Structure 1
Amino acid sequence: MKTNKREDLGSYLEEQRAKKLAEMGDYLRHLREEQALSLDDVASITKVPARMLNAIEEGKLEPLPEPVYTKGFIKRYADALGLNGSEFASVFPTAQVFSAKRQFWGELPAAQLKPIHLYLFYLVVIILAVTGLSQMVDRSAQQAVTPTSEKPTASKKSPQPTSDKNQDQVALVSMNSKNSSEPVRVGLNVTSDSWVRVVVDGKKEFEGTLSQGTQRTWTAKQEIVLRAGNAGGVMVAYNDEQAKKLGTPGTIKQVTFKAN
């Protein structure tokens, strides 16, 4: 009887893992497509194989490793998209719940604890985890949608295109300094986590997620191509000019800084 109850609980937890993975994977795919990133792009950032990322998006447990490692993959995926990966992945059920059961059983006198008590305890834990995940996904979805729905204000010098917010916005910026022979110099100040790619004179110099507070500078003889997944979180200073936001929060923007 005890074995049957333990097997039933294991099956229920496996079902809950599959259900939660499907919900989390669907949200991550939606956010990735909004940022115009491919699975290969995310794999390059997270160092997680693209087939594992695809399994997460499809909600398939079979190709994935043990739950504790799968939880780590989910954290890295969420971090790459600008989310708080630790918070997002914290509600994914893992096998640690079984080890917790054995420890808890060993620490309490047998006369005070019955198997039905453990069964009810873990059911309550699972219900709380499901509720927390639903609230977190709703809150994350609202945060992801709100920045892109804002209308340009009168204080902005030029309105952003509204025909397709998910397509790249490409601009050519000519060097207006007094000495046109100076190299192109671009400084970045990251005010909110953002994925960034920098190509200097045709060679990719950097690609990855920069955290809030990061400051970087690149120089080139001909041009610098800058692409950011969260344009509103990147301040750019071109050839020592006053730093300006690359774009609006939550949008992807690519800018080419080049000399005449």
Structure 2
Amino acid sequence: MTVLNDAQQEQLKEITANLQQVREEKNISLEEISVQTHIRLSFLQALEEWRFEDLPEPVFIQGFIRRYADRLELDGTAIANNFEINFAPLESNHSIRKPSIYIPLFVPYIFLLIAAAVGLFYLLKIDFRDKSSAQKQNPMLSVPQKTLTSPLKSEILPSPNTAPVSTATPSQTSTSISDVAVTLELKGDSWVQVKADGKTEFEGILTKGERKNWTAKKSLTVRSGNAGVVLISVNEEEPKLLGKNGQVKDFTYNKQ
């Protein structure tokens, strides 16, 4: 199907109307024109009926006009040249059009926000990794110092009713008593170890407010990791602090 623009259609209507008028004046049928010019009858009919969509390309239409006019003893070349074939054809409704791509304005901003978030996450990840590496290399940066609770030195508290006697270590003293009975009362948390007759009866953490009693047949040793919070009473005597806060001490009580 041929699609002609408006200018071509107007030119073709004027030319074919004049040719039809001359043909009818000379009493010549379209069939005769078709036989003598070798133009298909359907094309001649389409020209005179202005059914231009049934015609071939404009260059062939121009050739039909020239031969048609020559048969009518007219200047076919001059008449055919009145039909321009170089006009750009109208765009067909069935022609393929490339879809236009529309990108909303907010789409680039979304990509920018995503890129910024990824970059920030990457920087924070590197910073966290560097801090973790530094803590692994120097544990003192992340681990708080704790008070040493294991016994460092020992000391013997003499019984208030007996004279002190020397023991194997210079820092310890022992007291001869008739019965060994010890009561501990905690004013704070402390690690405590209690040995009765050389056997460990207790070892662990006593918390503030706890009160414990131990007895022994021959000897009883109390060791505290925080002597300043431990009140000790020997054989129901008045309680006394074992030492100072944070001080580690040993106290031994012997039976006579």
TM-score computed with the length of structure 1 as normaliser? 0.42
Structure with bigger helix share is 1
Normalised TM-score (structure 2): 0.42
